[in-house]
Chains A and B, each alone.
Chain A
């Protein structure tokens, strides 16, 4: 095991395993990928483990304020316009990438505040496409 290795190969009770180390914060926090799952593993001293329960938890399902592009591609069509109120599951737009048209839906009930792109624009991962009111 060298410093910075991303693939951890070992035997556990004499069975070969491979674990992907997706990130290592060098202080006991590791994002590991193994047997079909991503797991955040932490090693804590007994005292730290006791105090850990007082740490604030990140809100996982907070309502988003914007839609960022999940893929790099070309915007084919917007299915909504500014001012629309949309329901969870409704289609927002279509992005073409890798020969496929991908329909992007909203997971939440939202109101469209501003659309930052036009149809036929190229868009990259993480760019804000739509901001929600």
Chain B
């Protein structure tokens, strides 16, 4: 039987899945909402079907409609990507009932790991280390106070159904517990329709490090290294890397062991991620398990040379893993920058609209781009603001950062706001480059918001020579316009003033041709050449 895979997702990740399917010779079916009619993934898929209006609840979360399309097209596989229905046990159950293969774990595994309190209980049973805290639901603020005293401040009050930064509060001060408890309960009730609250120890300056696993249906579980995702803003990951600059082989081994134990406990198969918080003494505590492909999976693919989507499909088709733990070697260093449609200068407000310019850096062995957008396409206000992922790969961390810097400077997007300048600034941040990071990094380094990078003398040289080069180019072009005095074309003054915002620099042109220009500025010679 030939395989046909339906992608119950959109955007970047849908494109990513289609790419692997093309390689494996699997036919693809896309489902899309009205807002995505002209999206890239719809064009890339072999077949595509509209499943309703733009709001996700009426399209990408509409189980009935999606199952209709599965049956109409005869798809035997369904990949959920991340977000939307990827961790919806009910959806997977419906598929299991109809003998359609879900490219992911079983509905039982999803259900067991889906609830924060339940999953923590299971983790404790599996002897996985967890954050000290109160097991179970807290219903009164007086009770909350007692528990907080017992585990010691600071504590975190968290909604069971919470996520993405909503329904969480950190308390350093005993008097604030009652207030925080009230507002977290309200927020949880309003946002998730579920006001169950729990309390745990808050770990200061934590790192967020996660273990990628892949498991087959025969019970083989293999760990594919860790990813460090400590660079977050409001609990949204911004930059991820693999391996982590903080984890040594001994800690990694311990994390592997516990991750495998947890996966076996829930009879896990397919790709999954176990998230840990790691404190400054390399103690790690289980946070949650994501029973799906993660956004940042490409960094793991770069250092292991594996195709996670391909492996997930193989597992869904009952194949055995083609390797064991001993075969897994972590080579080099990979980094991922998430390109968000948001304006860092305006407190990261999301931005939507038409892309009137979209140029990606060239992909090569050091640069990988995963995207779902194209020049002329639209970024819709209905979905996530993440529009692309830029990955770099090098022999070591410094090299990966250098490749990332170059790739970011060769990325051009206009029509919407984007966070590339913010990413460039992080890549130039000394603390980031040293690897001394924690999940508080952005809050601490950009406490007053993002005001643009401070240009160093090299940046200024780049900009002065660029402006002068472009000016000269325009000048010689203008001189070729019909009817100009011929004399003007031959001469350009050799002394100019270049202003960068309010600072002015005296520039002397020493020589210039079509492709190259040498100038002198502040007694330094600068050679600029196009290639």
> CB of B63 within 8 A of chain A?
no
Q: Known: A1-B530, A12-B462, A37-B455. Is A20-B471 also a contact (CB below 8 A)? A: no
Among B364-422, those with CB < 8 Å from A are 381-385, 405-406, 409-412, 414, 420-422
Contact partner, B467, options A14, A17, A38, A42, Cβ 8 Å: A42
The 8 Å CB contact of A35, one of B411, B424, B469, B504, is B424
Q: How far is the CA of A9 from the CA of B504 in the complex (A)?
A: 24
Complex interface: stretch among B114-122, B199-207, B285-293, B494-502: B494-502
Distance between A125 CB and nearest chain B CB, rounded to angstroms: 7
Contact assessment for B463 and A38 in the assembled complex, using a CB-CB cutoff below 8 Å: no
Q: A37-B421, A98-B381 are in contact. Are A43 and B471 (CB under 8 A)?
A: yes
Q: Give the A interface residue count (CB, 8 A).
A: 50
Chain A residue contacts of B349, Cβ below 8 A: 70-71, 102
Q: Complex formed: what's the CA distance from A38 to B414 in Å? A: 13
Report the bound CA distance from A100 to B424 in whole Å: 25
Do B493 and A45 touch (CB < 8 A)?
Answer: yes
A33: min CB distance to chain B, Å: 7
Stretch at the interface among B21-29, B89-97, B170-178, B351-359: B351-359
**Residues of A contacting B421 with CB < 8 Å?**
33, 36-38
A37-B452, A97-B352 in contact; A30/B496 too (CB < 8 A)?
no
Contacts of B126 in A (CB 8 A): none
Contact, CB under 8 Å: A6 / B496: no
**A97: contacting residue among B350, B411, B473, B529, CB under 8 A:** B350
Contacts of A30 in B (CB 8 A): 467, 470
Q: Chain B residues with Cβ under 8 A from A39's Cβ?
A: 455, 463, 500-501
Contact (Cβ within 8 A) B424 A36: yes
Given contact pairs A35-B424, A37-B421, A38-B421, A70 touches B352 in the complex (Cβ within 8 A):
no
Neighbouring A residues of B252 by C-beta, 8 Å: none
Instruction: Let me know if B501 and A40 touch, CB within 8 A.
Output: yes
- Kindly name the residue among B411, B423, B501 whose own CB sees the greatest number of chain A CB atoms within 10 A: B501
State which size class the interface on B falls in. 35 or more
In chain A, positions 37-76 with a C-beta closer than 8 Å to chain B are 37-46, 48-49, 52, 70-73
Find residues 89-112 in chain B having any chain A CB closer than 8 Å to their own CB: none
Q: CB-defined interface of B421-444 with A at 8 Å, one 1/0 digit per residue?
A: 111110010000000000000000
State A28–B497 Cα separation when bound (angstroms).
11
Find out whether the CB atom of A46 lies under 8 angstroms from the CB atom of B350: no
Contact among B412, B498, B526 with A43 in the assembled complex (CB-CB below 8 Å): B498
Q: How far is the CA of A72 from the CA of B383 in the complex (A)?
A: 13
Q: Can you list 17 pairs linking A and B with CB atoms under 8 Å apart?
A: A10-B531, A12-B461, A13-B527, A18-B411, A20-B412, A30-B470, A32-B463, A36-B453, A39-B455, A39-B501, A40-B500, A43-B498, A44-B496, A49-B499, A97-B350, A98-B383, A98-B384
List 18 other contacts, CB 8 Å, given A18-B361, A40-B500, A70-B346: A1-B470, A1-B473, A3-B477, A8-B469, A10-B528, A11-B531, A12-B465, A18-B410, A24-B474, A33-B420, A35-B428, A37-B459, A40-B501, A41-B500, A42-B467, A45-B497, A46-B493, A72-B352
Which residues of A approach B to under 8 Å, CB–CB?
1, 3, 6-14, 16-22, 24, 26, 28, 30, 32-46, 48-49, 52, 70-73, 97-100, 102, 125
